[in-house]
Amino acid sequence: MGRLLMRGRQPFFLPCTALGCLELLSRSGIAMKGMNTVVLGNSNTIGMPISVLLRDHGVASVKVIHDPVKRRTDGPSFESISTSGQVYDPCRLREEAEVAEGVPEAVREADLVVVAVGVPNLVKRDWVRPGAVVLDVGINPISVDESAADVDPTAGPGEPPTSMSSLGFHVVGDVAYEEVAEVASAITPVPGGVGPMTVAALLHNVIFAAKLSNGVYTGHDLQTLSKAAPDFADDYTD
C-alpha cells in the first residue's frame, strides 16, 4: 500500500481483487476519466487500493465511506459458536447491519460504485443513480429459505443457485442484483463477476513474480512499467 499510495513508485504486486476490478472496467470499455466514484468499505485489500488505482486512472473524485454500516456486537461470536459445535448462521449479519446516516445519498451521487462491505443485498435500487456502474465485491452466504426472492444471475431458468452448498446456503453479493440491474448501466453479478477477475489477477501476479525471479525485468523495466494495472495480456505475449 505504501508504494501504491506514492505517485511515481510502482509496487511489485497489486492486491488481486482491486487489480481485477480495474482490469474488468478497462476490458468492458468503461471510461473512468472524469467519473465521480464512491467506494463502500476501506479494507487494505480492496477498498483502499481500488480507491488509489481509480485516482491514478483519472476519475474526478473518490469518496471512501469507511463505515457504511453500524454492526451490533451483541450475541455469540463466530468463534464461540464454532467451538461449541453449533451451526453459525451468516444470515444473522443482515439483521445486525444498520446503514449509517447519509450513505444512500452519497452513493446516489456516484457514476461508479464499488461495494466491499460484507452485508448481503445492502445496496438497493434507490441508492443508485440511473446509468451508474456498479462493482459488487461482496461474498455473502445466504440460506436458501431466506433468499427465496433473490436471483442467482448465473443460474438458468428454473435452476437452483449454482453456488448452493449441501448446508442449504448460496452466495450473494452486497448489492441487490436484480433490482439494481434495472437502473445501472453495468453491474457485476455474484457469483461470476469480480471473483473470476480476482483469480485472473492472482495468476497475473504469479507470472509477474516468476519473471522477476528469473531476471526478465531489469531495474529500468520496473521503473517504466505502467504505474497501475498492467494489461493481463502482457503476461502471455512477452
pLDDT digits (tens, 9 = 90+) for 137-183: 999 887 766 554 445 555 555 555 455 555 667 889 999 999 999 99
Highest mean pLDDT: which range of 74-88, 127-141, 208-222? 127-141
Statement: residue 231 has pLDDT above 50:
yes
pLDDT digits (tens, 9 = 90+) for 57-114: 899 999 999 988 876 544 444 444 444 555 545 555 555 578 888 999 999 999 999 9
Which region among 107-111, 222-226, 232-236 has the lowest average model confidence (pLDDT)? Answer: 222-226
pTM exceeds cut of 0.85: no
Which residues, in sequence order, are CB contacts of 161 under 8 Å at separation 6+? 144, 147, 152, 154, 155, 170, 171
Which residues, in sequence order, are CB contacts of 230 under 8 Å at separation 6+? 204
Percentages helix, strand, coil for the chain (3-state, rounded to 5) are 35, 15, 50
How many CA atoms lie within 13 Å of 217's alpha carbon, on the beta-carbon side?
17
d(CA 164, CA 79): 24
3-state DSSP assignment of residue 23: helix
Taking alpha carbons only, the member of 163, 145, 146 closest to residue 94 is 146
Statement: residue 45 has pLDDT above 50:
yes
**Length of the chain as a residue count:** 238
Highest mean pLDDT: which range of 5-19, 45-59, 73-87, 211-225? 45-59
pLDDT digits (tens, 9 = 90+) for 8-32: 666 668 889 999 999 999 999 999 9
Residue, of 133 and 70, whose pLDDT is higher: 133
- What is the pLDDT at residue 29? 94
**Could you give the angle at the alpha carbon of 150 between the alpha carbons of 145 and 152, nearest 5°?**
110
Taking alpha carbons only, the member of 136, 151, 146 closest to residue 195 is 136
- What is the pLDDT at residue 218? 57
d(CA 140, CA 121): 9
Q: What is the CATH number of the domain that holds 214?
A: 3.40.50.720
In the DSSP assignment, the letter for residue 161 is P
Over residues 208-225, mean pLDDT = 67
**Could you give the angle at the alpha carbon of 191 between the alpha carbons of 172 and 170, nearest 5°?**
45
d(CA 186, CA 193): 11
d(CA 39, CA 117): 10
Counted domains in the chain:
1
- What is the pLDDT at residue 208? 85
Residue, of 128 and 216, whose pLDDT is higher: 128
User: Which whole-number Å values give the CA distances from 176 to 14, 120, 158, in the listed order?
Assistant: 28, 8, 20
- What is the pLDDT at residue 82? 46
Residue, of 216 and 92, whose pLDDT is higher: 216
Rg (CA), the chain: 19
Give the structural domain span for 18: 2-237
d(CA 134, CA 78): 30
